[in-house]
A and B are shown apart, each in its own frame.
Chain A
Amino acid sequence: MANRPRRNNPNSSGNNAPVPTTPEQGPLSEYDTKILAAPTPLDLALLPGSETTSFAAEAAYNDVQASLDTTVDLLKQQYPTPVGDKYVSPGGPGIDMLNLMALMAHRRRNEKGNYTPVQDPSATMAQNIICAYPNPKQLIADVSTHAKAMLERSRHQGDTFDPAGLQESFARLLPIVYGPRYQEYRDQHRAERHATATVAAEQAAVATREQQARDEEESLKYTGREILANSKSATLNRTQLINQSLMSLQMRQATARNALSTPKHALLQWNKNRAEAKYLRKQAKVGSSMFKFINNHHARVATKAKRTLDARSGVLSAHQALIDGRTRTVEAQAAVRERAYKEKIKFYSEQKIAAEESRIQRRALRQRELHARSQGMNKHESKLYAARLTPEDKRRIRLVAVTAAKRNAIRQGYNPGTDYDRDN
């Protein structure tokens, strides 16, 4: 009745292999757990000592043997062996595929040792396959890899290897070997692919939305820059702010020691510049009207502006003369000038570092504010949230800012030295 003995049954031969339906080591996914929970037709026959104790196990073994043999015969008729083909045996693609699966199982469980195909009854081969591959997923992956290598080799060697027969054999033998577990594998595989596809589609949709938002923001920024650059009043306002800042920057520098750039002199220069700008503006209006009395009025205003300019230029020149008088000799003037250059450069460089530090802090606060807005806080709340930096946050931001600013300065060939030490 049966094809005995089951020589390769790992459990009956004292092999210490895991029980076939036991999940493999490592964390199992929900899908794999469900697959391994499904039974195979040979579960009874795989129990230790089953061949001597269970008629049901014997019957299951024989059923699988009969099904496999019948299918192998049918496949042989369907795919007659081509003459001279090196990779399809006279037994047909069915037995070749069964041998290939058994070979995979043998390799998986025995790193060394030869494997002689067509040595075992087909149901014994099925037992070994299930023991080595409780989950058909891994077997399918390994056989697929091996089949690809075979196909590649046959291309290079010009053999007549035809993968169609082996592929169909695989598809027909798997349900016989694994039974309900194979069906469960297919269901779970489909569910897994569906879930993966859904997640991928969601991720793609999110990525698309983010990209669209980025594109829109870039486009808006571009338009915003254009608007701000082309607006006359905004440009004028910026220029005014720049001049105010420049003035305040120069006033901050107390270098009365060398008498070349005192705050008073900077202020006089500033006054003269303003008077000059005003005079040029007023002078441009003279003669622009079609009415004589308006032109006369413009001329009077321009004359007044000119007087102011002359007065301020005079004051500035007088102060300049006073400063120049303080440095008597050419050598002394040169030495003083050199020292003044260095002090000025140092001053501007340190101001730059301070400004970069301030810019990094401002950007960090703005990022926090935008983050708070994205979390649903209103404008006021988000500003409060942004301002609530911990001392550690502040220290970290300052450290990053100063380090970056110093690095920039050094990269540009200027070493700010140790005077500017605000790391702490």
Chain B
Amino acid sequence: MTVITKQLLADIGISLDDSAYAQFTEQYEAELDSRIVNEIVDELDTEQLRELTRFKDSGDDAELQRWLVENVPDLDKIVEEEMAILLGEIAENSESFT
């Protein structure tokens, strides 16, 4: 599911062709995901990090999801912050894209 739509870019004056747009979204969405993951991991203390590593081999995705909800109460906030920051960066640099 595309997060940064063409419309969103068009709203801030960025006009890209299809291939450039595909490259752009892939790069920025990977960056956004990486930032969110980093923030989530930074929220955890050592004990929680140890618990998280239990899921490495178990592969129980549903259980991991439950654990995340329980242990990272600020997950929504983190996502919102990181997305707003990244969008802000894109907007502030919009002139360099055109």
B77-89 toward A: CB 8 Å interface, digit per residue (1/0)? 1111111110111
Whether the pair B12, A341 counts as a contact (CB closer than 8 A) is yes
If A223-B56, A231-B55, A358-B77 touch, whether A249 touches B46 (CB-CB below 8 Å) is: no
Whether the pair B93, A413 counts as a contact (CB closer than 8 A) is yes
**Which residues of the partner chain B approach A414 to less than 8 Å between Cβ atoms?**
91-93
Alpha-carbon separation in the docked complex, A244 to B50 (Å): 30
Interface size on A, residues (CB 8 A): 61
> Smallest CB–CB gap between A80 and chain B, Å?
70
User: Majority SS of interface residues in chain B?
Assistant: helix
The answer to whether B16 has its CB under 8 Å from any CB of chain A is: no
The answer to whether B22 has its CB under 8 Å from any CB of chain A is: no
Whether the pair B65, A237 counts as a contact (CB closer than 8 A) is yes
Q: Which residue of A lies closest to B73 (CB)?
A: A383
The answer to whether B31 has its CB under 8 Å from any CB of chain A is: no
Interface size on B, residues (CB 8 A): 54
Alpha-carbon separation in the docked complex, A341 to B15 (Å): 12
- How many A-B pairs have beta carbons closer than 8 Å: the answer is 168
What residues make up the interface of B, taking CB atoms closer than 8 Å to A?
Answer: 1-3, 5, 7-8, 11-13, 32-34, 36-46, 49-50, 52-53, 55-56, 61-62, 64-65, 68, 74-85, 87-94
In the complex, 29 of the A-B residue pairs with CB atoms within 8 angstroms, ordered by the A residue number, are A220-B49, A220-B52, A221-B42, A224-B52, A225-B41, A227-B52, A227-B53, A227-B55, A227-B64, A229-B37, A233-B64, A238-B33, A239-B1, A242-B32, A245-B76, A249-B83, A273-B1, A341-B13, A341-B94, A344-B12, A345-B12, A347-B91, A348-B12, A348-B84, A348-B92, A351-B84, A354-B84, A355-B84, A362-B78
Q: A220-B46, A352-B87 are in contact. List 12 more A-B contacts (CB 8 A).
A: A223-B56, A225-B38, A227-B52, A246-B8, A338-B13, A345-B12, A348-B88, A348-B91, A352-B84, A352-B89, A352-B92, A355-B88
Give 6 nearest A-B pairs by CB, closest first.
A352-B88, A348-B91, A220-B49, A355-B84, A414-B92, A341-B13
